Structure 1
Amino acid sequence: MKFFYTISFLFYLFFPIMALSQEENLVSLDCEKSYRIQSASSFTYLNCSFLYSGASITQTIYSSDPKSGQLWKFIMVSNGCYRIQSQYSGLYLTCSYTGAITQEKYSYESIGRQLWKVMVDRERNQLLLSVQTRLYLTFFRKRDSTTDTTKEVLLGINIIQPEGSTQKYTPEYQKREERKSTQYWKIISSD
């Protein structure tokens, strides 16, 4: 009988924690394959169009050209962390503490900002999280007030506000369903 009470106690102690957990699961990718990274909101692909370190990453429509800059390798480092390398430039996807998304060459100083976790949430949406900065890769359409044009940018952002909201959200109050699709990605094998 004592065994039954012990098991019951442990069940009631840990079940609510497990049931309410919002943690994402890590995605395992084949390091030998090349992938395209598609935005779930714009349906465009991450594109590395420059060969120099520090260049920004853009997005573009699908191209079947293997030299288009859309192909990426996920290089496993440890514990579900990857470095994401452009097959066009050989440089790595990097997220700065200010949220700037660029490509940089490998160096000891930048290795932490080049580590990414690929996660999938309960709704099967894929997210790319910068390990060191804790920012999610996010796609935005930004209006330039001086030229009155719309620009597409990639940023590292920790929290996305619900559509049309003016209230500031904190991680404690943000609900999973309020995260806009701008942080969702599809990682598609090109092989």
Structure 2
Amino acid sequence: MSNASSAELPKIVDPYKLAEHNSVLEGEIPLSALSRFREAVFGFEDGAVCRVKLSFYKDSERRRIVSGELEVPVNLECQRCMGPMKSVLVSRFVLGLVTSDEQAQGLPKDLEPFLTDDFSADLWSMTEDELLLVLAPYPLHDRGECPANEDLKAYEPDGSSEKPEKKAGDNPFSVLAGLKNTKH
């Protein structure tokens, strides 16, 4: 297995040639170069990078495959306190290399397609897509670590984190029933 490694992951490669040679690429992508991802996170430190390891190979059915591991430290916006939340995003994925929608439809269900040109693929764009897929839709600090934790306790009558028990007769729409019977 050949092994290519550099400080910065190449942006454009020939994935089919890499798969023929069972190649492994390791490197980094500056987060400042990933505009869609940059807009989706709360922020990151200056000079932050995504660490990437990609393995290109052919499977037993002679399909060309790229499997990868990504890791990136970022700040997400906690949806409870709306403040920054340090997080490390990690992604592991396996993609089938395809050049058409017809080839993509022929892949088994456990392989996601990676649509490429005949001789080139943009690894930075692929990495950015995978990072966007692992973003939590509603990131939250752990309840005990969230700055809004004190505010949350104010909404609980006894300051505990237990939910009050519901009585059988409690009906959240009882106020509406009263309004229905009033005349305008």
TM normalised by structure 2 equals 0.25
Of the two structures, which has the highest relative contact order with CA contacts closer than 8 Å and spacing of 6 or more? 1
Higher helix share: 2
Query: Bigger radius of gyration, 1 or 2?
Result: 2
